[in-house]
Structure 1
Amino acid sequence: MAISLNTRVSQQVSLTPQLQQSIKLLQLSNNELEQELAKAAEDNPLLEFEPNPEMESNLTPSSAQMDGTQNHWSNNRVSQDDDEDWGERYERVAHKQTLLEYLEEQIHLLNISPEEQSLLAYLAGCLDERGYLLDDLETIQVDLGTQSPEINSKKVMEVALEKLQSLDPPGIGANCLAQCLSLQIDRVLLNPPPDKANWELAKLIVTKHLSMVGTRDWQKLRKVCGKSEAEILKAVAHIRGLQHNPGAQFELESDQWVLPDVMVKLKRGRWVVESNPNAKPRISLNNEYTRILKEHGQKKIDGPLKQKMLEASWLVKNIAQREETILKVAHEIVLRQQQFFSMGAVGMKPLVLREIAEAVEMHESTISRVTTQKYLACQLGIFEFKHFFSSQLSSEKGGAISSTAIQALIKKIVEEESPKKPISDTKITELLSEQGYIVARRTVAKYRDMLRIPPVHLRKT
């Protein structure tokens, strides 16, 4: 048996411990952060941690309960002259498991290195609410490389994306609808079904001729695919059975207590953001240990103790950075949504993550983490940061209105209708048009479903 030495070059992803910790802390809710800090203090004697008494007490929920998607502010309105400290109020909200949480559960079970797990978790955080990865890998690599220079290979990013796309639900990590459907078909073909040929035809259609499915141009599909109309229709039936938005299914609800991260108050005619002192993490370096270490000098500290000191310092620094980032993002949100805090949902303006990302000079994936499970308290109630982001619709006046505001208008129209003669979606579209808002009837129907308002024939009494 010959023994020899060989040189092998390989590419490996490596995120610094500081970056891994920073990313992890940023996406934690207040409740999760409390648990994380308690565990860190147990493992590191150089840390001093004081449990938050607000989180330890078993308080009675307030009368208003937010479900994370609907605005019940009218039942929870507080006078502007009321001196109540909103930061001391808990509210019970129905927490919906997010796509990111579901993916992270799977990532932790993969037999890969902690560094690779961190990279996969970062990519998962870049997905939009549908489960699509709209940013190209080069952009993500550059953004991540500024924090962790070791990630300098596009191949590493591609391998990580492939692993992410292998997770459930099928279709996540795609950059467009065609790729999303193609990934789902690939998953079906891993264990070929009896009608394998139809699924392969479906794969051909979604990758090259998906637009023809939308136009229902079966004759042209037959020609380009060289198949009969019956075969085409069977393949199209398979395609229609696939999930277009893999992230839409994550609405598993469970009650949880929420302590708002920030408070919004009216000062000199403007709504401003303040940190909630009751939500501030109570973590610091142990003064006695720090004094002893300083007296003996850093060079005389042994390896394990020095490592504990570094870990403690990183944690305290990252907690401070987390607070600063949350406050900065909240400030930009409130700056753009002044009318909401005065008028409610009808005053909501269109807002996307990119606007906030550009304002605070951070990546959209970072803003996505900051706005998930972070809450603000105001006179209208307690809202998750994500509540303030919505798409833009046009108005005849040349301006724009948010989808949230349109939903509020639809809800108001339905509430004011006659129970004996409810208003149809077409009529709602006309009423909105009279107010200057251009909304398609199918869009009205979609928003009505999102508001859980039954169709017209079920509302009639």
Structure 2
Amino acid sequence: MAISINTRASQTVSLTPQLQQSIKLLQLSNSELEQQLAKEAEENPLLEFEPNPEIESNLTQSNERIEVTQSSWANPRISQDDDEDWGEQYERIAHKQTLLEYLEEQIHLLNVAPDEQSLIAYLAGCLDERGYLPEDLQNIYIDLTSQTLSKDSYERLEKALAMLQSLDPPGVGARDLAECLSLQIDRILENVNTNRDIWELAKEITNSHLSKVGSKDWQKIRQASGQSEAAVLKAVNLIRSLQHNPGAQFERENDQWILPDIVVKLKQQRWIAESNPNAKPRLSLNNEYARILKENGQKKIDGALKQKMLEASWLVKNIAQREETILKVAQAIVSRQQKFFSIGAIGMRPLVLREIAEELEMHESTISRVTTQKYLACPLGIFEFKYFFSSQVSSENGSGISSTAIQALIKKIVGEESPSKPVSDTQIAQILNAQGYNIARRTIAKYRDILRIPPVHLRKQ
């Protein structure tokens, strides 16, 4: 056997410690950033950190907060000369992304035809708050064809459901608990190399013996599967570790009080985004240490101390870079959503991460980090950046409207209804259809639930 030495050139991506830190800081919220900086300052004497009094008071004086909800969106009256500092009035509730919004965001990124995206989005609108599909697929198909919203075959509807079930969170789109758990196990089996036998046993138990797990009938499961009781118990423990409610993370939590990163103001008939000075991290280099190091010269600096100085400089620069990136993304969002800030949610235009990424010449993953847990304050309230990204609903004339605007239209229709004769979900769908927007009745019902609007029989007076 001949032995030889060859030279080969190849390209690899290597993340430097500085870049890793920059990415980590970008995805932190204001409160998480405060905690991280406090920790860094404790470990590095060359850093000076002053806790943000706004965030501290936010944590300790919750009883003095003022709640501003989505009801204030309807008719904002803001003059050009209004100099109110919306950044200081941070005691407001922020919009929390719903399961349907999260799914629509993913559906828009699927590499499938627009009509297939519409079919998947229709099914997403049929899910309950747990993320399950409670109605039989055959009934949904009949409903679809009866509304003349689709001429798709039943097989295409099944394919659309499979695509929906491939999205996050794992288990979404399941029709029962067994399917929900099985979908999660399939996702795990695609990525694990160890314990595959136990996971495959867990899937067998989930599909065929789930009722016996509830009654703890291990002997019958062992006999049916041909496995030892120890293996069965391991598989059951894995099943219990799975999420039984994929939509749990999107359930409405207690009001979340936050300090916005950005404030939006009206100047010369145009809405602009500015950094909130109250939210800026109070971090700097220790001037006394820096002076001593400078006087002693680089050659006399201890190696460990020199490393601390380098790390401190990196952190200060990365914090500045974080603020600049957040502001750039906010400015790009505000530039596109001018109508929203003027008339409310009904003026929201469709927007995707890729659009902002291309303009700023950044990667979509970077935009995703910036839009998560970053907030802007405006006269309408406080909103997470992600709120301004929504899928597009096509109209008959070829124009598009965002799903957020559709929700606002539903709210407007219900707000104008007669108390003695409220409009049904079917009637709302017909009204929107007359305006050129083909929205399924089940999607109307889902949006109505998101808006916390009761069903028609509960609204009747």
Alpha-carbon deviation of 1:398? 2.4
* Number of the residue aligned with 1:394: 394
Name the CA distance, whole Å, in 1 between partners of 2:248 and 2:398.
Answer: 32
Alpha-carbon deviation of 1:458? 2.7
* Number of the residue aligned with 2:232: none
* Number of the residue aligned with 2:410: 410
Counterpart check, 1:50 vs 2:44: no
Counterpart check, 1:192 vs 2:201: yes
Alpha-carbon deviation of 1:94? 6.3
The answer as to whether partners of 1:132 and 1:175 remain within 8 angstroms in 2 is: no
Q: TM-score, normalised by structure 1?
A: 0.65
The answer as to whether partners of 1:64 and 1:76 remain within 8 angstroms in 2 is: no
Say which SS state the counterpart of residue 41 (structure 2) adopts. Answer: helix
Alpha-carbon deviation of 1:449? 2.0
Alignment of 1:151-162 (within 5 A): none
One-letter amino acid matched to 1:44: N
Name the CA distance, whole Å, in 2 between partners of 1:299 and 1:98.
Answer: 57
Structure 2's unaligned 5+ residue stretches are 1-11, 112-165, 190-197, 210-241
Alpha-carbon deviation of 1:199? 5.5
The answer as to whether partners of 1:63 and 1:76 remain within 8 angstroms in 2 is: no
Say which SS state the counterpart of residue 397 (structure 2) adopts. Answer: coil
The answer as to whether partners of 2:50 and 2:283 remain within 8 angstroms in 1 is: yes
* Number of the residue aligned with 1:206: none
Name the CA distance, whole Å, in 2 between partners of 1:48 and 1:251.
Answer: 39
Q: TM-score, normalised by structure 2?
A: 0.65
* Number of the residue aligned with 2:18: 18
Q: Deviations over 1:380-411 (max 9, x none)?
A: 12111111111101123321111000100101
* Number of the residue aligned with 1:441: 441
One-letter amino acid matched to 1:266: L
Alpha-carbon deviation of 1:131? 8.6
The answer as to whether partners of 2:108 and 2:391 remain within 8 angstroms in 1 is: no
One-letter amino acid matched to 1:445: A
One-letter amino acid matched to 2:349: K
Shift in alpha-carbon separation, 1:177–1:358, aligned structure 2, 3 A: farther
Aligned CA RMSD, in angstroms, stands at 3.9
Counterpart check, 1:65 vs 2:74: no
One-letter amino acid matched to 1:192: L
Say which SS state the counterpart of residue 358 (structure 2) adopts. Answer: helix
Alignment of 1:237-276 (within 5 A): 246=246, 249-251=249-251, 253-276=253-276
The answer as to whether partners of 2:285 and 2:312 remain within 8 angstroms in 1 is: yes
Alpha-carbon deviation of 1:53? 2.4
Shift in alpha-carbon separation, 1:374–1:134, aligned structure 2, 3 A: same
* Number of the residue aligned with 1:84: 84
Structure 1's unaligned 5+ residue stretches are 1-11, 100-126, 137-169, 201-241
Counterpart check, 1:277 vs 2:282: no
Aligned residues: 347
Alpha-carbon deviation of 1:265? 1.2
Name the CA distance, whole Å, in 2 between partners of 1:303 and 1:190.
Answer: 50
Q: Deviations over 1:71-123 (max 9, x none)?
A: 64348865543322112112243686999xxxxxxxxxxxxxxxxxxxxxxxx
One-letter amino acid matched to 1:345: A
Alpha-carbon deviation of 1:460? 2.2
Name the CA distance, whole Å, in 2 between partners of 1:131 and 1:244.
Answer: 21
With 288-297 and 250-259 compared, the bigger mean Cα shift is at 250-259
The answer as to whether partners of 2:95 and 2:387 remain within 8 angstroms in 1 is: no
Alpha-carbon deviation of 1:243? 8.6
Name the CA distance, whole Å, in 2 between partners of 1:449 and 1:330.
Answer: 29
* Number of the residue aligned with 1:340: 340
Q: Deviations over 1:413-436 (max 9, x none)?
A: 112112221111111112112223
Name the CA distance, whole Å, in 2 between partners of 1:345 and 1:14.
Answer: 42
The answer as to whether partners of 2:170 and 2:246 remain within 8 angstroms in 1 is: no
Q: Deviations over 1:18-67 (max 9, x none)?
A: 2232122111111221222122112111011122222233556554434x
Q: Deviations over 1:112-153 (max 9, x none)?
A: xxxxxxxxxxxxxxx9788999799xxxxxxxxxxxxxxxxx
Identity of aligned residues (%): 73
The answer as to whether partners of 1:433 and 1:439 remain within 8 angstroms in 2 is: yes
With 256-265 and 402-411 compared, the bigger mean Cα shift is at 256-265
Which structure has the higher relative contact order (CA within 8 Å, separation 6+)?
2
Say which SS state the counterpart of residue 190 (structure 1) adopts. Answer: helix
Say which SS state the counterpart of residue 319 (structure 2) adopts. Answer: helix
Alignment of 1:375-386 (within 5 A): 375-386=375-386
Say which SS state the counterpart of residue 437 (structure 2) adopts. Answer: coil
Q: Deviations over 1:308-364 (max 9, x none)?
A: 111101110110010011000001100110000101011000011111111112222
One-letter amino acid matched to 1:380: L
Name the CA distance, whole Å, in 2 between partners of 1:39 and 1:393.
Answer: 46
* Number of the residue aligned with 1:458: 458
